[in-house]
Amino acid sequence: MFARAPHTETTTAAPERKRVRTKLTRRGLRVKVYQREREFRTAGGLAVRDITDEVEEAVAESGIRDGVACIYSPHTTCCVRVNEFEQGFLEDFATMLRRLVPNDCYYAHDDWDRRTENFCPEDMEVGNGHAHCMAMLLGTAGESVPVCDGRLSLGTWQRVLFIELDRQRDRRWIVQVVGT
């Protein structure tokens, strides 16, 4: 089942990077681009971390009142999703994913007699073909959320979730806020 990842996860030496750019449009509006990157270590094993507050901080820090926040994970075995952060739902979702993509089946991705590219020494110890398949089922690696009046336009129960589909690993996510 999905584990609710605690907010006490280990942060690596360079926990965040920030970048701000502005550009004047033809209509005279100044479009601003703000980017923040966060690094952390996941708990592994279908762990879900609620990153909504950190994304909201980045939106507030950006100074952008109206635009869009793109929250993205540059990894192939985890993703960012918007959904409810409720234990019953997380258990149901983990059960469904494990039923659709069991981790104890054969995956060609984990067959080192057959695989000839994209080698990672730690993957050779513990296969993660199931995590790649889960990620493909979940779709893109990120979400775009409108920003109105300087805040994320999320529904009542919606939260921004970072979902780890693989084992415990060092990860990062990026939020880029674009607007005026």
Q: Are 162 and 77 in contact (CB under 8 A)?
A: no
From start to end of the chain, where are the E strands? 3-4, 16-24, 30-41, 47-50, 67-72, 78-84, 142-148, 151-152, 158-164, 170-179
- Collect all residues with Cβ–Cβ distance below 8 Å to 113 and sequence separation of at least 6: none
**Band (23; pLDDT cuts 50, 70, 90):** low
Give strand pairing partners of 78: 164
The dihedral sign for the CA sequence 180, 151, 137, 110: positive
Instruction: Read off the pTM.
Output: 0.85
The confidence score (pLDDT) of residue 5 equals 59
Q: What residues does each domain of the chain span?
A: 3-179
- 79-130: pLDDT as tens digits: 999 999 999 999 999 999 999 999 999 999 999 899 888 887 777 888 899 9
Assign domain 3-179 to its CATH architecture.
Answer: Sandwich (2.60)
